[in-house]
Structure 1
Amino acid sequence: MVIQVFTLASEGHVVKLSEVKLFGKWTYDNIEVRDPSLKKYICLKPYILPHTSGRHEHRRFGKAEVPIVERLMNKLMRPGENMGKKHLAYNIVKKAFELIYLKTGQNPLQVLVRAIENAAPREETTRIMYGGISYHVSVDISPMRRIDLALRHLTDGARDKAFNNPITIEEALAEEIIAASNNDPKSYAIQKKEEIERIALSSR
């Protein structure tokens, strides 16, 4: 998306157009969401700094308007050491995106979108009670929850890989996103997706 910036020269006319880029580097142009069910819920509105200060919190389905990169940052702030440290999560994601670009040569935003599509499970189980007996049945997953699960598994995989290891969290996150975008079975997020869908298949 291109935003016009009007600057007056000495003659008094418009001199240039400016493009909004994520972190001042990565363009939002031509980012493709292949999964039609997720297209409405992966927010790709142009933001230089993806930080909306929780303005979505009290609106139903407000998360759909939060930039997808900010949602990734929020998932990094899980209860524990990083709880509430938004600036730390911002720096982790920013460095991870730079590593993704160095390793793949692609726009990191597109790689993240592809990773979410591949890691989002389509079916899971829920427990129901019938006649005093509880049992599991398979159910379809809503698009919003599919994205939540994909982001959770991506960040959990990176956190587990970096914990008690010489590898940094930035490198672990970059590797996890790249592996998920390639549908690599070694990816933690892909493994969790297949496990969830396998359990759901047996509960049909």
Structure 2
Amino acid sequence: MSSQTQLPDIDKVGSGLNEIKLFDKWSWEGIEIRDPSLKKYISLKPTYLPHSGGRHEHKRFGKAEVNVVERLINRLMYPGKNGGKKMMAYNIVRNAFDIIYLETKENPIQVFVRAIENSAPREETTRIMYGGIVYRVSVDVSSQRRVDLAIRFITEGARECSFGNIKPIEQCLADEILLASRNDPQSYSIKQKEEIERIALSSR
């Protein structure tokens, strides 16, 4: 009985046999969060498979402890017909990260974190009523809401790009993350952020 020699998997990037890697490819080590206000709310807890099963659901601010890639996957599942199809969303993100690596030769997790930092608005407006008249005033955005809005804008941009288009959503998601990470004004999420901050500036 001849023993077969197992070739190394060329798809696996990085080194370290016992290191926990996202999708068994991407290392969690060395990921830098440049915005100090977001460090507490961008969870980089090492995990092979980003699926926590909703353990954070009944805990206040529990989503801050959910892995940031899992939050992206969860956001891709809704609204609409993709609700509950986590395996589909999982495959979309995995393929999008592969595309990001092929185009940048960087760790896709680092690129995604940079996209969140660039897409997170710092100021928005709220409504207050004074004497029966409704005013819009500018307010600072909390750190957790900044992360929430950034992830929402990124997924909305990918969804709008792929709707009625031959370009698959994996490519659209990768393009949106890449553009946002470069602070490119063509990015949907950067446009949304700048629009929110522009309205808030005029409401000061």
TM over 0.5, shorter chain: yes
- Equivalent residue, structure 2, for 1:161: 161
Distance 1:118 1:138 in 2: 20
- TM-score, structure 1 as length reference: 0.91
- Equivalent residue, structure 2, for 1:191: 191
Alignment of 1:21-40 (within 5 A): 21-40=21-40
Aligned length: 189
Alignment of 1:93-172 (within 5 A): 93-172=93-172
Deviation above 3 Å: which 4+ runs of structure 1? none
2:128 aligned partner, one-letter code: I
- TM-score, structure 2 as length reference: 0.91
- Equivalent residue, structure 2, for 1:174: 174
Render the CA deviation track for 1:103-122: whole Å, top value 9, x for unaligned: 11100000000000000000
- Equivalent residue, structure 2, for 1:4: none
Q: CA deviation at 1:81?
A: 1.5
SS of the aligned residue for 1:72 comes to helix
Q: CA deviation at 1:185?
A: 0.2
SS of the aligned residue for 1:192 comes to helix
SS of the aligned residue for 1:154 comes to helix
Distance 2:77 2:126 in 1: 27
- Equivalent residue, structure 2, for 1:42: 42
SS of the aligned residue for 1:19 comes to coil
2:108 aligned partner, one-letter code: P
Gaps of 5+ in 1: 1-15
Distance 2:63 2:37 in 1: 15
Provide the identity percentage: 68
Distance 2:61 2:117 in 1: 19
Give the RMSD, CA atoms, in angstroms.
Answer: 0.9
2:87 aligned partner, one-letter code: H
